[in-house]
């Protein structure tokens, strides 16, 4: 069963690398944070538990046995107030005799039944609040005394938070810096691919030259080499196609021209009443000859067809004047006046191609200029550009068609039968070969401006 789904879902290589690295870094950081929490808890508990144990031992020192063996807690009210006073926590204590009788403190606080030895500190709830309680067995002549000292956990939690924050902030800073460094490193690592993409996007559509594999990382070279093999194949196919087109057009032009000459002789020998069909055939033959000529010009204007023909200094004004001479008869037959405004226009180019460009602009202008109209040709140097301008006083080019008219075989809605749809495509091809730009405007009719880089020896 066929499916329209692609074999591979598009994804970002940068995103995949980051998704692979960042979770690992976050996991390491989480483990570090958990370790910091454990260390902070143990450290603060050990410190505060030691203080609580010291307090219960200090309290035990206040237990006395008189001569009659009676146990008492020698803890005056001021001393008890000092013992219980703390700016943040509440403190509780209880002292019980051998029979569990309360000698002093809080009756609802009971000590754990611990063996003789150091105090035992435990965590529990007292009066609905978490406390840490130290239980201690004091041996006396009157019997064992059980003591308990408890303290709420406000200072303990605060110290734990401060300790944890002091541990986490450096780790968090390291994590953020590492993630940022990874992001920058991934971006730099993919930079050659971005530059390769920009270089390919900046190429002309007919530029099949090999990509430089030395400027990309080793991992990307197989891709570049595969693309170069593809470009070699495209170059061969394009060259073969253009060669076939040029050869076919060249081979067809001579017999078609001879056939046209024979048709003219035939028409001259026919009586006027029988010339209609022959003249229609001659008109179609001329259009075919023009199409063949345009195809040949298009093949010759390609960049790869001119590799062995270097550009040379050319005066664009002289080329324009020379190209216009071919169109005087046609302009005169249509009563169209050709108006020149020429200044020296030094550029680098191939004269025969520039002549073809101007000839096609002339042809286009004469086709659309009305009978008795005007065609203007001007060449001017504007700063670092030489401007060629060909204008007519015809209907002009609608704004929505000003890009489409340069496509091959494009014919607008109002196109006349004698056009081939190749003339302006040839103009665009030759302009691109000379690094020139084209603008289409409107004055009294269509205005075509071609801007060439100026050549200053």
Q: Pick from 232, 201, 195: which is nearest to 216 by CA?
A: 195
pLDDT of residue 144: 92
Task: Taking residues 67-87, report their average pLDDT.
Answer: 81
pLDDT digits (tens, 9 = 90+) for 387-417: 999 999 988 888 888 888 888 777 766 655 5
Q: Is the pLDDT of residue 239 over 80?
A: no
pLDDT band for position 130 (cuts 50, 70, 90): very high
> Residue 150 belongs to what H/E stretch?
strand 143-152
Question: Contact, 328 vs 338, CB < 8 A?
Answer: yes
Beta bridge partners of 123: 132
pLDDT band for position 9 (cuts 50, 70, 90): low
pLDDT band for position 147 (cuts 50, 70, 90): very high
Question: Contact, 84 vs 91, CB < 8 A?
Answer: yes
Whole-number CA gyration radius for the chain: 49
342: CB partners within 8 A, 6+ apart = 317, 320, 321, 377, 378, 379
Task: Taking residues 172-187, report their average pLDDT.
Answer: 78
Q: Is the pLDDT of residue 220 over 80?
A: no
pLDDT digits (tens, 9 = 90+) for 263-317: 777 777 777 777 777 777 776 666 666 666 666 666 665 544 444 457 799 999 9
Q: Which fold has domain 309-453?
A: Heat Shock Protein 90 (3.30.565)
CATH of range 222-300; options 1.10.287.130, 3.40.47.10, 1.20.200.10, 3.30.390.30:
1.10.287.130
Q: Residues 147, 153, 155, 159: what is their CA dihedral angle, to the nearest 10 degrees?
A: 120
Alpha-helix runs per DSSP H in 377-422: none
Least confident segment among 54-63, 121-130, 181-190: 181-190
pLDDT band for position 249 (cuts 50, 70, 90): low
**Local structure of residue 57 (DSSP, 8 states):** H
pLDDT of residue 302: 58
pLDDT of residue 160: 81
Task: Taking residues 257-263, report their average pLDDT.
Answer: 72
Q: Is the pLDDT of residue 449 over 90?
A: yes
Q: What is the mean pLDDT of the chain?
A: 81
Tokens at 238, concatenated:
């394009």
- Across 194-207, b (16+ Cβ under 10 Å) vs e yields eebeeeeeeeeeee
pLDDT winner (highest mean) among 35-44, 258-267, 367-376: 367-376
224: CB partners within 8 A, 6+ apart = 196, 211, 212, 213, 216
Place of tokens 């070969």: 433
Q: Which fold has domain 16-64+72-160?
A: Beta-Lactamase (3.30.450)
Q: Is the pLDDT of residue 216 over 80?
A: no
**Local structure of residue 451 (DSSP, 8 states):** E
pLDDT of residue 305: 47
pLDDT band for position 120 (cuts 50, 70, 90): very high
Give CA–CA dist 143/112, Å, rounded.
16
pLDDT digits (tens, 9 = 90+) for 10-49: 666 667 777 777 778 778 878 878 887 888 788 888 988 9
Beta bridge partners of 389: 378, 449
Q: 110 or 164: which carries more pLDDT confidence?
A: 110
Give CA–CA dist 199/275, Å, rounded.
60
Tokens at 447, concatenated:
């205005």
Full DSSP string of 297-326: HHHHTSGGGSTTS--EEEEHHHHHHHHHGG
Q: Are strands 337-342 and 374-382 parallel, antiparallel or unpaired?
A: parallel
pLDDT digits (tens, 9 = 90+) for 334-360: 899 989 999 999 999 888 889 889 988
Give the domain ranges of the chain.
16-64+72-160, 222-300, 309-453
- Model-level pTM? 0.47
Q: Pick from 427, 436, 437, 430: which is nearest to 455 by CA?
A: 436
């Amino acid at each position: 069963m066929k499916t329209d789904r692609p074999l591979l879902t598009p994804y970002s290589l940068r995103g995949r690398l980051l998704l692979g690295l960042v979770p690992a870094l976050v996991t390491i950081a989480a483990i570090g944070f958990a370790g910091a929490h454990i260390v902070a808890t143990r450290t603060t508990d050990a410190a505060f538990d030691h203080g609580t144990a010291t307090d219960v031992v200090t309290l035990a020192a206040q237990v006395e046995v008189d001569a009659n063996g009676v146990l008492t807690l020698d803890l005056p009210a001021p001393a008890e107030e000092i013992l219980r006073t703390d700016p943040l926590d509440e403190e509780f204590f209880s002292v019980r005799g051998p029979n569990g009788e309360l000698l002093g403190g809080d009756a609802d606080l009971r000590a754990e039944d611990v063996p003789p030895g150091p105090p035992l500190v435990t965590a529990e709830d007292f009066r609905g609040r978490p406390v840490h309680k130290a239980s201690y067995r004091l041996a006396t002549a009157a019997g064992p005394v059980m003591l308990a000292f408890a303290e709420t956990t406000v200072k303990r939690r605060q110290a734990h938070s401060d300790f944890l924050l002091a541990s986490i902030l450096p780790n968090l800073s390291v994590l953020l810096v590492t993630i940022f460094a990874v992001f920058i490193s991934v971006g730099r690592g993919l930079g050659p691919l971005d530059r390769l993409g920009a270089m390919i996007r900046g190429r002309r559509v007919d530029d099949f030259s090999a990509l430089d594999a030395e400027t990309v990382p080793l991992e990307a070279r197989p891709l570049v080499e595969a693309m170069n093999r593809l470009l070699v194949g495209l170059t061969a196919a394009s060259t073969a196609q253009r060669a076939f087109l040029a050869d076919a057009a060249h081979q067809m032009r001579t017999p078609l021209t001879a056939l046209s000459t024979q048709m003219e002789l035939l028409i001259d020998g026919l009586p006027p009443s029988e010339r209609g069909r022959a003249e229609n055939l001659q008109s179609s033959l001329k259009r075919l000859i023009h199409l063949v000529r345009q195809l040949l010009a298009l093949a010759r204007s390609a960049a790869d067809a001119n590799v062995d023909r270097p550009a040379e200094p050319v005066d664009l004004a002289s080329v324009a004047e020379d190209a216009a001479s071919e169109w005087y008869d046609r302009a005169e037959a249509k009563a169209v006046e050709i108006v020149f405004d020429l200044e020296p226009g030094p550029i680098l180019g191939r004269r025969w191609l520039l002549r073809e460009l101007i000839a096609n602009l002339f042809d286009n202008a004469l086709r659309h200029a009305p009978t008795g109209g005007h065609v203007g040709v001007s060449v001017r140097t504007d700063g670092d550009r030489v401007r060629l301008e060909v204008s007519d006083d015809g209907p002009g080019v609608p704004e929505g068609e000003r890009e489409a008219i340069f496509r091959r075989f494009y014919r607008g809605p109002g196109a006349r039968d004698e056009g081939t749809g190749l003339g302006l495509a040839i103009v665009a091809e030759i302009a691109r070969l000379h690094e020139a730009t084209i603008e289409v405007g409107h004055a009294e009719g269509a205005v075509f401006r071609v801007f060439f880089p100026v050549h200053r020896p």
